[in-house]
Amino acid sequence: MSTSFSNLSSEPRHPMPMGDAHTTAGHPEQVRRVLRNTYALLAMTLVFSAGVAVATLTLQLPAPGLVLTLAGYFGLLFAVFKLQNSAWALPAVFALTGFMGYTLGPLLTHSLALPGGTQTVALALAATGATFLALSSYVLLTRRDFSFMGGFLFVGMVIALLCGIAAMVFEMPALGLAVSAMVALLSAGLILFETSRIVGGGETNYVMATVSLYVSVFNLFTSLLSLFGVGGSSD
């Protein structure tokens, strides 16, 4: 399970020096530019991550383990944060999303081995895509401000991370199932939160916006995969 805490601040960041530096935060043209760049980069990272996951699945590569997963995730996330305004920002983003795709491969292997595994993966993928499109469209159409959710989402993700680690270490399936449900709800909230920040001009760095949305989509998919997998394994 991977969670992101890097984008819950309600304060706007400095924009990327790629044409946004002389615009006013919240300007319609800037918002459109950030949205366009964010969704374009998000699409590319999702395709790249899926490709890495499929390669990991095909080659039957082993799972990196809890410690390496957390170290790799937070280490690469920190690198993206530090390099967000440099030419190395995009390579860092693809390194992070590629690593997360690698961690997804063993999970897909396990899910596909369950009864009805193919249907479970397809259902989780479809539900994730539909949820993301619905929530993003809602914010884009209504322009509602969800920035007030930042503190709640941050605390919720911290609790979910700690509970998720405890469920893995102490082998508590029931707790793991509860964490998956919690992460799915928090991920949906993060999609609303980050999209709202972009629309409102609070997020002007499309690299950081992409990472936040990618992690939310990733966590939503893996959580739904775990939840649907429980139903499939009991058939």
Chain segment 182-224, per-residue pLDDT in tens: 999 999 999 999 999 999 988 899 999 999 999 999 999 999 9
Residues 6 or more apart whose CB falls under 8 angstroms from that of 109 comprise 57, 60
pLDDT at 8 over 50: no
Whether the per-residue pLDDT at 19 is higher than 80: the answer is no
Q: Is the pLDDT of residue 12 over 70?
A: no
Residue 60 is given by DSSP the state: T
In this prediction, residue 26 has a pLDDT band, given cuts at 50, 70 and 90, of low
Q: What is the mean pLDDT of residues 111-124?
A: 91
In the chain, % of residues over pLDDT 70: 86
CA–CA separation, 224 vs 129, rounded Å? 11
Task: Locate the domains of the chain by residue range.
Answer: 28-230
- Give mean pLDDT, residues 128-152: 93
| Reported pTM | 0.84
Residue 212's pLDDT is what? 95
Tokens of 27: 């300007």
- Give me 155's structure tokens: 């605390």
Mean pLDDT of all residues in 165-194: 92
Q: What is the distance between the alpha carbons of residues 197 and 192, in angstroms, rounded to a whole number?
A: 9
Q: Which pLDDT does position 28 carry in this prediction?
A: 85
